[in-house]
A and B are shown apart, each in its own frame.
Chain A
Amino acid sequence: MRDRAEKDAAFSTFVRANGATLLHAARLLTGDHHRAEDLVQAALTKLYLRWGRVDAPLAYTRRVLVTTHLDASRRRWGGERPSEVIPETAVDDGSGRADDRDELRRLLRDLEPRERAVIVLRYYCDLSEQDTATTLRIPLGTVKSTGSRALAKLRVQAGRT
Chain B
Amino acid sequence: MSPSEDELRAALREGQDGGLDADAVIRHAHTARRARRVRFATTAGAVIVVAGIGAGAAALAHHDGSGPAPAAQPPGRASVATPAPGHAGVPAAGVRSADPSQCPVRPERLMLPGGGGTGQFGGDGPLFTATVNSLLACGYRGSGPVRAVQLTGDGAQSVADGLDAAVAVAPGGPRCSGPSAAGLVLRAPGQPDVVVTFSCAPDSNQATNGTAVRYDWHVPPSLLQLVAP
Binding site for B on A (CB under 8 A): 8, 11-12, 15-16, 19-24, 27-28, 40-41, 44-45, 48-49, 98, 100-105, 108, 119-120, 123-124, 126, 151, 154-155, 158-159, 161
Contacts and interface: CB of A to CB of B under 8 A. Distances in A.
B22 A15 contact: yes
Interface in B18-34: 18-20, 22-26, 28-29, 32-33
B20 A19 contact: yes
B22 A12 contact: yes
How many B residues touch the partner, as a band?
20 to 34
Which secondary structure dominates where chain B touches chain A?
helix
Given A19-B19, A154-B8, A155-B3, A44 B13 contact: no
Nearest to A13: B22
Main secondary structure of the interface of A (DSSP, over half): helix
Contacts of B11: 100-102, 104-105
B17 interface: yes
B72 interface: no
Contacts of B7: 100-101, 104
Given A11-B22, A49-B33, A123-B8, 4 more contacts: A12-B23, A24-B15, A24-B17, A101-B10
Given A15-B20, A100-B7, A158-B3, A105 B14 contact: yes
A91 B154 CA distance: 95
B25 A41 contact: yes
Contacts of A100: 1, 3, 7, 11
Contacts, number: 93
User: Which of B9, B18, B19: most chain A CB closer than 10 A?
Assistant: B19
B64 interface: no
A149 B2 CA distance: 14
Among all A-B residue pairs, the 6 with the closest Cβ atoms: A19-B20, A15-B22, A101-B11, A104-B11, A12-B22, A48-B29
Given A49-B29, A104-B11, A124-B12, A20 B19 contact: yes
A80 to B, nearest CB: 18
A123 to B, nearest CB: 5
